[in-house]
Chain A
Amino acid sequence: MTMYTKISEFKIYVVSYLGLMILLCLSVLMTYLNLGILGFVFCLLIACLKGLIIFLFFMHAIKDKAYLFIFGALLLFLISMLILILSDFRMRTG
Chain B
Amino acid sequence: MTSVKTENALTDKIGMWVFLATEICFFATLFLSFIIYRHESHEAFHIGSQHMNILAGTLNTGILLTSSLCVAMADLFFRKNNYQLSVYLLIITFLLGFCFLGIKGYEYIEHIHSHLLPGFDFHYAGKEERGVKMFFVLYLIMTALHAVHLLVGLIVLLFLIMRMHFLGQQKDYSRGVELSALYWHFVDLIWVFLFPLLYLVDRA
Contacts and interface: CB of A to CB of B under 8 A. Distances in A.
Interface of A: 9-10, 13-14, 16-17, 20-21, 24, 27-28, 30-36, 39-40, 43-44, 46-47, 50-51, 54-55, 58-59, 66-67, 70-71, 74, 77-78, 81-82, 85-86, 89, 93
Contacts of B69: 13-14, 16-17, 58
Q: Which of A34, A40, A81 has the most CB of B within 10 A?
A: A40
B36 A44 contact: no
A58 B200 contact: no
Contacts of A70: 17-18, 21
B204 A85 contact: no
Given A43-B201, A50-B192, A24 B61 contact: yes
B102 interface: no
B25 interface: yes
Contact of B21 (A28, A71, A81): A71
B30 interface: no
Nearest to B202: A40
Contacts, number: 94
A9 B32 CA distance: 35
Interface stretch (B111-119, B147-155, B181-189): B181-189
Contacts of A67: 17
Interface in B8-31: 14, 17-18, 21, 24-25, 28
B201 to A, nearest CB: 5
Contacts of B192: 47, 50-51, 54
Interface in B67-91: 68-69, 72-73, 76
B201 A40 contact: yes
15 contacts: A17-B69, A24-B62, A27-B200, A28-B54, A30-B200, A30-B204, A35-B204, A44-B201, A47-B192, A54-B188, A66-B14, A70-B18, A74-B24, A78-B24, A85-B36
Given A10-B76, A47-B196, A74-B25, A59 B185 contact: yes
A23 B147 CA distance: 23
Given A44-B201, A54-B68, A58-B72, A82 B32 contact: yes
B156 interface: no
